[in-house]
Structure 1
């Protein structure tokens, strides 16, 4: 019954936003109105409702701005960066580590820096989260050896985070575990069915995948990600920081005694240098001028302030965003 309700909630969100965009080659215009699309992630995560929240706010003033914003469910951060750079998307939600890597030409963009990538603002914190079945015996990272673990689909930011922490802990994802490449929306059911022992998901909390996975018949728990491996990652990479998963208040079905330590990144809103200043300015203005309304749209936004929404950005600010931030005194 809970799974049915979860599906109905997702469908209601989609219907309420009315914003599922189709993939397109370039920004479209009709009668002087510009249509732009935000790339998000899977519908059970936080990226999709985040894109919906942004589009909902801007579309309230669609006539004033001659602008219509739609959202598209995508494979995640890597896909969004590449689609922005190719012109298939105008905007995308991207993990802060992936923004850093893309602009500087490392990881998936090794030797190919995406110098037209532009930052707009940052959004919610995202914790690298590991959920395991109680009968798997997985209580720490070291216990993952020999287990079937979903590390995330290719093109997702979480896959890179999972590989980073596994390698830091001395676990080779190619040989020490049986690594699966599922989307998080699939992983919850696979864990409950016993087809995987655990799965990683980098996401804001609460979210639908973990709610589904912690509401089934199989008992599950969040695994702490802490110790020397995390200390090393946080010291080496500027986009990582320690964080806490608020288990007790969000996932009563999990068998943890309390909240769980881990590390994470931030979700960021990105675009291309080719997107017009007016379009970017309009989006930033509507979100920041109505930040309290925006924060009410999802629990993951509760910690947001105008000031911390400029943290975690490594690509240059888009001029449209910079114009707004200067007008309101957030930057000089």
Structure 2
């Protein structure tokens, strides 16, 4: 009888231990974001909160780095700007040496990301053209804002020699360097409001600068992933005017090898409680499902996402998005 009791106790003890151990051993879903100070990371954490499975939003060097890591099979899900999303799909621009990424898949698009120019008030930068001759941070290698800034510089005919110095700081360091006077201006392709931009304005007396003109008009007209954008007045204080600029879309992408059931569960979690998801950040407040399954997406839809969209009647069997009244 004593032996049986000991065996039963050991068996029950094993059952109690097996739950936590199994949970600890389950590999979490990793969603690659960008700088911890940016909207990608906030939205990545919001996506993880929608899921009833282990999930982690992972800071990275940004869009280009995410797309390359997806191609190498190091990631399953990641955020990327819509312009770099297109370049990777087609194997153009910075991805020309890599060739087209036939394994890249779209999940959905998210918020608009205005190209944001922030300058020290005492730098004398009142318009885009004024940044030449100054110390400017264009973003770290692998970041989306760097890719957009290089495209803009090329369109303007600017080289690095047109600036006093070019810096390659990540987004979470640039506001501090602006405050210390080590840079005169910084660029950031990001949804608003943003903590890094707010810090520069609040602590360093920085200002937001319009990014517009003939060259910007040409870029918007020539490239479908660029769109006119603006930052609302008073978003960063009562004396902040509305800012006119251009921008891109944030997109969530995946590898074709990513488990379709995982992608389906993620998409369903977002759209089945859509209002709660939109409330996770002000930049998401104007999203609609119609735009999210269409705008800024150039890679084919992942089959897990496509399954959900077809079930909702948002996409027909031939892949077309039905027109709505």
* TM-score in same-fold range (> 0.5): yes
SS at match of 2:28: strand
Residues 247-287 of structure 1: per-residue CA shift (max 9 Å, x gap): 41x2117x64x110000001000000011111111111001
Q: CA separation in 2, counterparts of 1:42 and 1:251? A: 20
Larger CA Rg, structure 1 vs 2? 2
Match of 1:266 in 2: 249
After TM superposition, list the pairs within 5 Å mapping 1:246-265 onto structure 2.
246-248=232-234, 250-252=235-237, 256=240, 258-265=241-248
1:44 Cα deviation after fit? 0.8
Match of 2:186 in 1: 199
Q: CA separation in 2, counterparts of 1:297 and 1:77? A: 21
Question: Pairwise CA RMSD of aligned residues?
Answer: 1.6
Match of 1:239 in 2: 225
Residues 177-199 of structure 1: per-residue CA shift (max 9 Å, x gap): 12110011111011111110000
Match of 2:122 in 1: 135
Match of 1:314 in 2: 298
1:189 aligns with 2:172: no
1:72 aligns with 2:58: yes
Match of 2:43 in 1: 50
Match of 1:9 in 2: none
1:91 aligns with 2:84: no
Match of 2:17 in 1: none
Q: CA separation in 2, counterparts of 1:279 and 1:245? A: 35
1:299 aligns with 2:318: no
Alignment length, in residue pairs?
A: 292
CA contact (8 A) 1:36 1:89 kept: no
Q: CA separation in 2, counterparts of 1:30 and 1:76? A: 30
Q: CA separation in 1, counterparts of 2:236 and 2:188? A: 15
CA contact (8 A) 1:142 1:169 kept: no
Residues 61-109 of structure 1: per-residue CA shift (max 9 Å, x gap): 23xxxxx221110011011111112222110011011110001001221
SS at match of 2:207: strand
Match of 1:35 in 2: 28
SS at match of 1:307: helix
Structure 1, gaps ≥5 residues long: 1-28, 63-67
Q: CA separation in 1, counterparts of 2:131 and 2:25? A: 55
1:221 aligns with 2:207: yes
1:153 aligns with 2:136: no
Q: CA separation in 1, counterparts of 2:242 and 2:265? A: 38
CA contact (8 A) 1:128 1:200 kept: yes
Q: CA separation in 1, counterparts of 2:245 and 2:297? A: 21
Match of 1:15 in 2: none
CA contact (8 A) 1:116 1:272 kept: yes
CA contact (8 A) 1:122 1:267 kept: yes
Task: Could you list the structure 1 runs, at least 4 aligned residues long, displaced by more than 4 angstroms after superposition.
Answer: 29-34
CA contact (8 A) 1:158 1:201 kept: yes
SS at match of 1:82: helix
Structure 2, gaps ≥5 residues long: 1-21, 317-325
Q: CA separation in 2, counterparts of 1:192 and 1:95? A: 27
CA contact (8 A) 1:118 1:273 kept: yes
1:326 aligns with 2:310: yes
Q: CA separation in 2, counterparts of 1:183 and 1:31? A: 33
Q: CA separation in 2, counterparts of 1:142 and 1:230? A: 11
What TM-score comes out, normalization by structure 2 length? Answer: 0.87
SS at match of 1:233: helix
Match of 2:101 in 1: 114
